Structure 1
Amino acid sequence: MKGRGCWESASVRSFCSSRCLNKFKKDDSGDDDDEPASPADKSELHNTIKSLSLKLDDLSTCSDLIAKHGAALQRSLNELDGLKIPYESSEKLKAVNERATLFRITSNAMINACRDFLELAEIHSWKWQRALQYEQEQRVHLEETIEQLAKQHNSLERAFRSAPGRATNPTKSFSEGSLLSSKGEDSEEDEDTEYFDAMEDSTSFITVITEAKEDSRKAEGGTTGSVEWTSSDNVLDGASLVPKSPPKVKRRVRIPDKPNYSLNLWSIMKNCIGRELSKIPMPVNFNEPLSMLQRLTEDLEYHHLLDKAVHCTSSVEQMCLVAAFSVSSYSTTVHRIAKPFNPMLGETFELDRLDDMGLRSLCEQVSHHPPSAAHYVFSKHGWSLWQEITISSKFRGKYLSIMPLGAIHLEFQASGNHYVWRKSTSTVHNIIVGKLWIDQTGDIEIVNHKTKDRCQLKFLPYSYFSKEVARKVTGVVSDSQGKAHYVLSGSWDEQMECAKIVQSSPSSPSSDGKQKTVYQTLPAKLLWKKYPLPENAENMYYFSEMALSLNEHEEGVAPTDSRLRPDQRLMEKGHWDEANTEKQRLEEKQRLSRRRRLEACSRGCGTEEAEKEADVYVPLWFEKRLDPLTGETACMYKGGYWEAKERQDWHMCPNIF
């Protein structure tokens, strides 16, 4: 009986060891199915190798147990063999002994084969890891080299175009509004020059710039009308070259340098693929010390373009300045890859600059999910601007798309001209590998709803290998009859020019059957040119002169003003750890306010209705109205803010900080 009990115990332990080995095999295959090792992630590969090593140790343990239990089983069988048992039972016992020996040999062979396989996999995995690291380093080096070459190529092109020998040549041509040399002594273009469509679903064009003296002879048949510049056209001359008058209030010109904090971007962003980023708590390490309300206000940096547009007697000339203003708002984003603070619900930002800029601006965060801000600007020069912008952002893995939704309205009081347009899409590239950079893409249509004039602008995607000027923008200004009056060209990070069209005619169809329109124009005139960045801007988040002053402390502002936001102020001073703690406190306070609204609403209505009601925030300074031009409901300024500031009566403001 004793021998039989040992045999049964040994059998059970052997069976358990086999089950354990099967479990290890299943776990291993489960890891392969659920968490595949990504060749692009070195850390994941390292973890996989570490996991395989642990499995190897488990297999070694199983091997020792099988050897131990197999030896015990063999001893038990030998003991049974020594007992006096019938011949028939002895034969069966020999058969069991042989099977046990075969099982032990097979198990040992399996364990040895698994060990050899895992050791070989480990050796090759480290080789693959080193090769992958080398390829990643080479790719980053190649990207940096290509970027540097692209910059040098761009600089050489600009230097070549501005060479003294080329200034005397009056005839130049450009496709899609970009300046190219026509066939002449200083041109190497041939008939195979590649042209690209200026705008999707519209006619591409080629423009020939000619001397103003020859216009009256070339404009035949009355097809183009007068070729003389109108009396108000001096407004377009050097529109952006107006020197900025010194402000009556001295503004700050620097902020504390950005600390050098290291942060693994991919460790956070990999969990955000396909999600709405406004719903994901992000540390201030990704931010710049400005809120989205302040970024909206920063669009007014080149407000003088609108001040000049007030004096235009021609609506199409006014449209040129409005188009330049719409493009200028993107010039501050070229180096600004950091994310602005998402404003708290009810947060405001005012810009009271009647003395030096001649305008007053007010923003209010009117929705938190989705994040939406209402903005109203009044200028004493005779124009007003308003908008409600909702930010929609998606992380796509390699890049981040930022899509501002909502219409921008601009109205000139004297003429009644009312312009409406929408913003383009911003894209942040190289989220995973390489240097972060931002691009603006898409089409913008600006419509004057009084005269029906239109401007079609196209932002071309940036490419290292493109023949076009970097960050190029092109466009055409047309009247209500569809007749083109101006061609616009430039780049959204540098400058915009306009050229008056004196004649247009269709060109011969190209090889692909597409029809182009040839525009003969007067020499281009500069509409807008970007101000240079302040000294040491690279250490101050690449802020412009205006951006540096936006978060400067001011007395008398509303208690909900972005300047008073504590986490943003701590970050600006360089205290990022304290800023992250304060940001968490503010976000929790905002969530608590929503829960209180939900509880208050749930007393009088059902759960679903209560949740909807809790998410509906009633703005303090704006109200929802139906926009008759767009047919959309948008928040518009209802008044009262500046009167409250005059009285310093802020009792109605919520406690959000």
Structure 2
Amino acid sequence: MGDLKPQQQEAEMKGWLHKWTNYLKGYQKRWFVLSNGLLSYYRNQAEMAHSCRGTINLVSAVIHTVDSSNFIISNGGTQTFHLKATNEIERQRWVTALELAKARAIRITESEDEEDYDLVPTQSDKNELQTMLKLLSAKLEDLTTCNNLIIKHGTALQRSLTELEQLETGSDSTAKVKAVNERATLFRITSNAMINRIQLEATYSDDDEFYDAEEHTTGEFLVTLPGKGHRRTCSGMSLQSEGQGYADGASSESDTDLESEEARVITRRRSNQEEYYDPNQPSWMCEKSENGSFEQHEATENEGKRKRRTSIPERPNYSLSLWSIMKNCIGKELTKIPMPVNFNEPLSTLQRLTEEYEYSELLDKAAKMEDSYEQMAYVAAYTISSYATTSNRSGKPFNPLLGETYECDRTDDYGWRCFTEQVSHHPPMLAQHCEGKGWTCWQEFSMSSKFRGKYLQIIPLGIAHLVFTSTGHHYTWRKVTTTVHNIIVGKLWVDHHGEMDIVNHMTGDKCHLKFIPYSYFSRETPRKVTGVVTDKEGTANWVLQGTWDHKIEGARVVGSEGSVRGKPVLETATPKVLWKRYMPPREYEKMYNFTELACQLNEPEEGIAPTDSRLRPDQRLMEEGFWDEANQVKVLLEEKQRATRRKREQEAEMSTAEGRPYPGYEPIWFKKETDPVTGNPVHIFQGKYWESKTKQDWSACPNIFL
């Protein structure tokens, strides 16, 4: 009996419930089966024999009642079911059955021998695997059908093209051209359907769960999109939909063919995307043409550009218990916890911060804008884009040694060059300076971090600056808080949350962004960011919305129509995509989930300073897969740094005893000055590094590596 599939066993409870799908279809009636600690659902009872639409394991699930008929089941972020019963009695029957099933499943799990539990899959795991295999089989059948249709319509299209080429007179040309167009349209529709099906299944594990990106939000302004009946409430950080989608006038046509409707919705949404991804080309080789499309550079345009690597050695499979290391470190600063390289990624914090310029084309575009509000919107999109790569990157970067540097000259492709130096060790602080096409950006980065047991919270300190050369517009902002969840148990995942104010100190314009924290019980889109651009009087000029790991859209405010419930009603132009994330390279999960730019940051290079992160031996050994050796070298480097610090402290004590001033440590390439904007002390780049590189004069560099 234990080897039977969930639907073949005697169900503990089964029946109809309404499950939330999206704003196009709302709640849809689905058949639910509770068995063996698993809650599964199907579109109907007949579907139980061949295709399960989704399953949630109750062992780690949270069951939350909303009102008299609604309740929510979530297993910690990967799956959430929003359900509605016909009445309160029916809802309570389900909630009671679910709680009992959960308690029973937990008891079974805890009663198993711990060693056997690690080595032998539980019945729940077997059932989940069997369910997943069925689901994958059904998806494969769908794709096979699409493939057959593509072959059929492709053959017909080829036949029509051949007939058109064989025409000797123009008498039948109109009819033939029409036939070719019709068959080409069929071929295109079929191909798009298959592509969209693949993308849909890759993005959403539950094919019912195509959530509209603008659902369940709150705010303070009411925004109307012209010609579409769109009205939105928005504050400086959020928008509320009271009609259709944000940039999508689509409506649900019928529920008779749900999968076709989903494909049409995806097609409509993606028809307005402002970029495409070719996995065989780096992101910088895709540029937008004047007509709005993206064109690939010819090979001749790439002459003179350095050929860079697109991959790094795969991450080896080393197992090590994080809890065994960190159980005695709760409450301590992250920088004071000795960590092996097993929990790192082969990049330093200096390099990780440089990765923020991956979407520097946003700054290039903003530098050319005369409209300060639109410029602010693109600056805001840039600040959000810097978080994109962290959505699936939970590895810790190497803590830089005092005096460690990193240069990144990408003027040949991205159009910028950046230099970063670790200017303080306690507290750890780095200074960075980047020069782009029409803009300059600099920042100090430090952080306060605490390990809380279940999660690690990182609060960035310091201010980022951006100046556009042509206008002198000077922007500043502070980063939001980052939390790494499931430190002890479960899969690590990262969330960014908090509020960010971007200020244009020349005009007084401000953009208030809100990074909405993820919650099990919220219907907010995960990783959502909202915002509004205002002038110095507080008048809204642009509204922004999207997610920090995917894309950001913006809409210009074109008018106001009084107020509703005390909130001003704003009318906006059609929203447009300001930023969209580039897709990562193939099999990137084997390379620490690095993007292509991240793979290139630690690529060896000649002529760099002897303090450059690329020359750090433990980091290089880790990248090459020699983790044991890397850990040994890491210990030696840290001991050398501690010895240097003790020597400096002894010199300071001797100077004090003799009545002489002790200057303390001074950075090599930055100098502490007073920030004219904020009035705070800040490290300013002196510009001498690039001169020293040209001369290959590194006499000022300390010996920090082995």
Structure with more of its chain in strand, by fraction? 2
Kept in 1: contact 2:485–2:492 (CA 8 A): yes
Q: 1:243 to 1:362 in 2, by over 3 A?
A: farther
SS at match of 1:469: coil
Give 1:391 deviation, angstroms: 2.1
Aligned to 1:529: 580
- 1:559 matched to 2:610? The reply is yes
Q: What is the CA–CA distance in structure 2 between the aligned matches of 1:490 and 1:264, rounded to whole Å?
A: 36
Instruction: Map Cα deviations across residues 108-129 of structure 1 (whole Å, 9 max, x no partner).
Output: xxxxxxxxxxxxxxxxxx9996
1:452-493 CA-partner distances (Å, limit 9, x unpaired): 000000000123443222211000001112111000011000
Contact 1:238 1:525 in 2 (8 A): no
On the 8 A contact 2:656/2:662 being kept in 1, the answer is no
Residue identity matched to 2:639: E
- Please say if 1:277 is aligned against 2:328: no
Gaps of 5+ in 1: 1-125, 162-166, 189-234, 510-514
Contact 1:178–1:474 (CA under 8 A) maintained in structure 2: no
**Does 1:172 pair with 2:230?**
yes
Tell me, what secondary structure is at the counterpart of 1:266?
A: helix
Q: Confirm or deny: 8 A CA contact 2:244 2:250 kept in the other structure.
A: no
SS at match of 1:644: helix
Residue 130 of structure 1 is matched in structure 2 by 111
**Match of residue 328, structure 1, among 385, 402, 407:** 385
The answer for the alignment partner of 1:186 in structure 2 is 251
Distance 1:242 1:152, change over 3 A: farther
Q: Which has the higher contact order (CA 8 A, sep 6+)?
A: 1
How far did residue 422 of structure 1 move? 0.7
1:534-583, Cα deviation, whole Å (9 max, x unpaired): 11100001101100000000000000000000000000011000000000
Structure 1 partner of 2:666: 618
- Letter of the 2:230 counterpart: K
Report the counterpart of residue 157 of structure 1 in structure 2: 211
Q: Call closer, same or farther: CA 1:154–1:320 in 2, change over 3 Å.
A: farther
Distance 1:168 1:506, change over 3 A: closer
Q: Is the 8 A contact 1:240 1:526 kept in 2?
A: no
Structure having the higher helix fraction is: 1
Q: Is the 8 A contact 2:480 2:496 kept in 1?
A: yes
TM-superposed CA distance for 1:508, in Å, is 3.6
Q: Which structure is larger by alpha-carbon Rg, 1 or 2?
A: 1
For residue 639 of structure 1, report the CA deviation from its aligned partner.
Answer: 1.8
Tell whether the 8 Å contact from 2:477 to 2:500 is kept in structure 1 after alignment: yes
Secondary structure class of the residue paired with 1:486: strand
| Amino acid of the structure 1 residue aligned with 2:553 | E
Would the alpha carbon gap of residues 470 and 174 (structure 1) be closer, same or farther in structure 2, given more than 3 Å must change?
farther
- Return the match for 1:314 from 348, 353, 371: 371
TM-score by length of 1: 0.66
Q: How many Å separate the matches in 2 of 1:268 and 1:237?
A: 55
**CA offset at residue 151 of structure 1?**
5.4
User: What letter corresponds to residue 382 of structure 2 in structure 1?
Assistant: F
Distance 1:504 1:187, change over 3 A: farther
Residue 262 of structure 1 corresponds to which residue in structure 2? Answer: 319
Contact kept? 1:143, 1:434, Cα under 8 Å? no
* Secondary structure of 1:603 counterpart: helix
2:437 corresponds to 1:375: no
The residue identity in structure 1 corresponding to 2:330 is I
Residue segments in structure 2 that go unaligned for 5+ positions in a row: 1-106, 132-201, 216-224, 254-287
Q: Identity of aligned pairs, percent?
A: 53
Is 1:549 the counterpart of 2:612 in the alignment?
no
What do you get for the CA RMSD once the two structures are aligned? Answer: 3.8
- Structure 1 distance, partners of 2:289, 2:572, is 15
1:636 alignment counterpart: 684
Deviations 1:277-311 (A, max 9, x none): 10121100010000000011000000111111111
CA contact (8 A) 2:429 2:446 kept: yes
1:611-642 per-position Cα deviation (integer Å, ceiling 9, x unaligned): x969x421000011111222211111012100
Q: Is the 8 A contact 1:363 1:376 kept in 2?
A: yes
Q: 1:471 aligns with which of 527, 532, 556?
A: 527
1:433 aligns with 2:489: yes
Equivalent residues of 1:292, 1:340 under 8 A apart = yes
Cα deviation, residue 141, structure 1: 11
Corresponding residue for residue 652 of structure 2: 601
Deviation at 1:249, TM superposition (A): 0.5
Per the alignment, do residues 596 and 160 of structure 1 end up closer, same or farther by CA in structure 2, a change over 3 Å counting? closer
Is the 2:226–2:572 contact (alpha carbons within 8 Å) kept by the matching residues of 1?
no
Encode CA deviations 1:416-471: one digit per residue, 9 max, x unaligned. 10000011111001112211100000000000000000000000012344322221
Q: CA deviation at 1:368?
A: 1.0
In 2, distance between residues paired with 1:535 and 1:243? Answer: 19
SS of aligned partner of 1:571: helix
CA contact (8 A) 2:403 2:423 kept: yes
Instruction: Give 1:251 deviation, angstroms.
Output: 0.6
Aligned counterpart, 2:278: none
User: Are the structure 2 counterparts of residues 347 and 178 from structure 1 closer, same or farther at C-alpha, using a change threshold of 3 Å?
Assistant: farther
Tell me if 1:248 matches 2:305: yes
- After TM superposition, the structure 1 stretch with the greater mean CA deviation from structure 2, 575-584 or 457-466, is 457-466
Letter aligned with residue 472 of structure 1: K
